[in-house]
Amino acid sequence: MFVSSLKVFKFRNLADQTIELGSGPVYVNGLNGNGKTNLVEALYLLSGSRSFRTNSSSELLKWGEKECSVFGTVVSENGTEELGLVFTPGERTAFCNGKPLDSVTELIGRLRVIAFSPADLSLVKGSPSGRRRFLDRHMVDLNPGFIKVLMAYQRALASKSAVLKQPGIDYSHVKPWNELLADYCGKIVDNRLNFIKSLSDKAALFHEQYAPSDGTLTISLESDFVEDDRALSCDEILGRLEGVAPKEMMMRTPSLGAQRDDLKIALGGVDARAFASQGQTRSVVLSLKLGVIDLLEAATGESPVILLDDVDSELDKGRSGRLFKALLGKSRQVIVTGTDAPPDHLLASENLCTLTVSQGTVVS
């Protein structure tokens, strides 16, 4: 799939304009601070995800404006669709083919995007929540309906937390939420386990090609509800939740659940989250993301749109060469930003589309 054109209105520093994009490699060139990442961010948002830079839609509005929007024409095996988002402070409304959607999550699956950006190092080094987001986001790419389970789980967990904070409660108040949570937890943990199983071989293979001397990459799920490599049943999970209920009522906060899951990442058996160097971390992130691309392509028969923001400043020549080779080998829309002339690997592609961003205006 690819985005054939992008229309931005009052979006960050970008001038109001429609930008035509090629279906293959696209190089977005421009000096620092001119709007390259803003352009990449606009594309990323159309996938239905939150921005990789901010959780607040107000930041997306051009300073002093009250509304901004991003619309994109997406060409995929489903045909051509116009997806869009309108942002006002604190609110986002999604559109498909001119009609408003009930929820932004309905965009999910219509445009799949995998982004590589300097912020990715936190996938290995940051908090478990970033790793859970990585898992859940791509599980949803593979199975868009799964977002409903994840959202229902968050709502039930918030309700249970609120109940636990009330004075004078007993277990009868908590029990209905535990029953619901046990059901959702079983599904979430099982899906996360299966996703990790299908990703681990692919990621390990890429890692073997990139950084063989770093040791074998292995990933696994750390969860309150996994035993002998399988998700506990709903009844077993409920049993565990009941076991900790007295403590939870005393502490007034939930203590077990899928909200504590983590993706364990190891290199040669050593925990990469704690011990990987910067270079090793980058190779792990690239391998995980290339693995996800492979998985999505195998499952959907289509390539996701790939965004590479500023990777050349992040990677040494050898590594970025191998990354480009892996990504440009197939016909994919790969959108790359940089401050210099296009890298050699891109120049070699015959259908390269080059754009220049100057103070928010994009010219081809």
Residues at the interface with ligand ATP (CB under 6 A): 12-13, 30, 32-38, 59, 61-63, 310, 339
59 binds, among Mg ion, ligand ATP, none (CB under 5 to 8 A by kind): ligand ATP
- What are the Cα distances from residue 44, in Å, to 51, 237, 343? 7, 36, 23
Residue with tokens 């789980």, as numbered in its chain: 153
Instruction: Please state the closest distance from residue 129 (CB atom) to ligand ATP, in A.
Output: 24
**CB-nearer residue toward ligand ATP: 88 or 161:** 88
- Give residue number: closest CB to Mg ion: 37
13 binds, among ligand ATP, Mg ion, none (CB under 5 to 8 A by kind): ligand ATP
Instruction: Please state the closest distance from residue 259 (CB atom) to ligand ATP, in A.
Output: 31
**CB-nearer residue toward ligand ATP: 8 or 231:** 8
Backbone angles phi, psi at 345, to 5 degrees: -60, -35
Instruction: Please state the closest distance from residue 272 (CB atom) to ligand ATP, in A.
Output: 27
**CB-nearer residue toward ligand ATP: 19 or 189:** 19
**CB-nearer residue toward ligand ATP: 35 or 48:** 35
Bridging pattern class, strands 230-231 and 226-227: antiparallel
Token pair recorded at residue 25: 């490699």
**CB-nearer residue toward Mg ion: 281 or 337:** 337
Binding track, positions 7-46, relative to Mg ion; x by CB under 5 A: -----------------------------xx---------
Q: Which helix (H) or strand (E) holds 82?
A: strand 79-88
34 binds, among ligand ATP, Mg ion, none (CB under 5 to 8 A by kind): ligand ATP
What is the secondary structure of 172-203 as a DSSP string? Answer: HHHHHHHHHHHHHHHHHHHHHHHHHHHHHHHH
Token pair recorded at residue 39: 């352009």
The CA distance from 278 to 314, in Å, is 10
How are strands ordered across the β-sheet holding 353-358? 113-116, 305-308, 334-338, 25-29, 353-358, 361-363
**Which residues of the chain form contacts with Mg ion (CB under 5 A)?**
36-37
